[in-house]
A and B are shown apart, each in its own frame.
Chain A
């Protein structure tokens, strides 16, 4: 799928540009939780802005379709998707409401429900509006549904491919839904601020959230498609964002998000607890992974399919493991952060 490989290269440059512009935004905050609240707010603000741009790009392309508009639409999807990846580590607060994280990204999708639900809504005779999507279920409410419309190989060959009218209606309804959710997230995060700052449990809670994110990234987003879990068979379809061949771009964005929106607050906490050395160790681990990813393609499939590429993927994986162990073993132990069995996953 040559189009989507081009898609991926563009993403990397966008992502770097975003990183440079975002650096000076956060002013110094007094306590770790103040810093985290401020940094995550920056991430949510970026998500709200980029989902607005995605919505606008969809409108623009559908009203006057041309090749340049189509490229801009792909870029806008990736930019917004990467903004989501950057804040995906936050699993507490307003993101918990109404299964919002699942609404942004329904994954894993073992039964290919995204394709089934998108096809269902494309062939249904009901009107397609934001309100329709609001009640349509998580498989069609987020980035994967738009990714299907933009990049699913078989769908691109069909008569329904964008800019077909019904597909445009669906794209616009879903992108509006995503943007509304991003705005809600941004607003509610501010509403939660006094509670977050006043509740000591959130210091360890925020660290646990990042620990979980790294574990999911290592085990499910990388380990599973690499065949390191379960069957032992490599399978790029187990990765997220396989349709757009941006699985590794998404992983890179998640790690950048942790570095940008989580690490500064953690450094403050580590310094306060007399463990600044571990902060430096974590910084080195971030740099190692991001250095590896700099030379990698956006998609995971090209690296999975050939042994030389797989070696490169293994190097990235090893550095991700190193990063995960630095946080989840060394730093968690030094700060006394415990992830309970029942407290983290009960019923």
Chain B
């Protein structure tokens, strides 16, 4: 855990790192105009250094916090006071940021024989943080339960129902965790090598966050469709994204839909040229809470896809090179980040994305909003 002195050192390091960012001030944006959207994301600088970044759309330049490892996803606490960002697999830490001041409150280690997968979610009252974990000597997927009010102390490990739990979200019932089980076994000694491609068992599972009991489980249509990322609508519709581990010339569906109330699981197949062009890989999933639209980013295809998640139909595809994070924005649009440094706004009615801002950064896979 870092001391206060250490935060200041990090802050200074942030100053030098941020020097290349136009107009950047390290001073955290405590005076954020309420109308402005504030986002957090992992990113790399152009010279390859890893950072956590807070940016205010239309506001001052980004505030960057250097970190020693590449990070991945994040989540805001329900009261908006904290934002937690997770190191990327095989990540050893998560970082808790004071969202008002923009500096680091604490970092928490995964502990011996464990690493994080890069995602987490808070309980509705903000007292617990849940995160996906690999116990790598056994390969067992776990959900770590952390006591937020006690310095993010680890209080429990719940079984995640299989190998390779990746993104997890809270169901609108407030009691259930929705977990994307990637099914891929990895071990830090073996870099990021996939060790069980022939025996993978990916799934989408719903788990009681108190008891750890599994409530529902669904399997993708092929055992090499690694279920990785997801979002949940206010009415309990889950949209999940796959990454296919089989041959490139296969073009299986990459989007799953679960109506968790009706217990109906299906996959959304896209028209064939588009399906093939995604190169069997999806990154972020974002559901718009006020419209029946979900955005799926597919960086290997340089495309972001908008689907009507009620009708299970394609609305449109947009060419966005190296697209990464996605968040709902406005009435039915989305914000999308890219490894090229841009933040785009996309709209179901517009054929092209609008570039809102560009930064000398490589935005990483996921965007975290400040609630």
Contact = CB atoms under 8 A, between A and B. Distances in A.
Task: Give the secondary structure class of A's interface.
Answer: helix
Interface stretch (A232-240, A243-251, A334-342): A334-342
A346 B365 contact: yes
A113 B198 CA distance: 22
Interface stretch (A66-74, A93-101, A153-161, A273-281): A93-101
Interface in B164-202: 189-191, 193-195, 197-198
A113 B189 contact: yes
B162 interface: no
Task: Give the secondary structure class of B's interface.
Answer: loop
B288 to A, nearest CB: 22
Contact of A94 (B44, B247, B277): B247
A120 interface: no
Interface in B256-282: 276-277, 279, 281
Contact of A342 (B195, B247, B249, B339): B339
Contacts of B248: 92-93, 96, 192, 195
Chain B interface size, as a band, is 35 or more
Contacts, number: 80
A338 B283 CA distance: 19
Contact of B321 (A92, A106, A338): A338
Interface in B227-251: 228, 246-249
A342 B189 contact: no
Interface string A306-347: 000000000000000000000000000000001011110011
Given A97-B246, A97-B247, A340-B339, A346 B195 contact: no
B38 interface: no
A150 B159 CA distance: 44
Interface in B323-371: 323-324, 338-340, 362-365
A113 to B, nearest CB: 6
Contacts of B197: 97-99
Chain B CB within 10 Å — which of A113, A342, A343 has the most? A342
Interface of A: 92-94, 96-99, 102, 106, 108, 111, 113, 137-139, 188, 192, 195, 199, 201, 338, 340-343, 346-347
Q: Which 8 A-B pairs have the closest CB atoms?
A: A341-B339, A340-B322, A195-B249, A341-B362, A342-B299, A343-B299, A342-B324, A342-B339
Interface of B: 44, 72, 88-89, 118, 189-191, 193-195, 197-198, 228, 246-249, 276-277, 279, 281, 283, 299-300, 302, 321-324, 338-340, 362-365
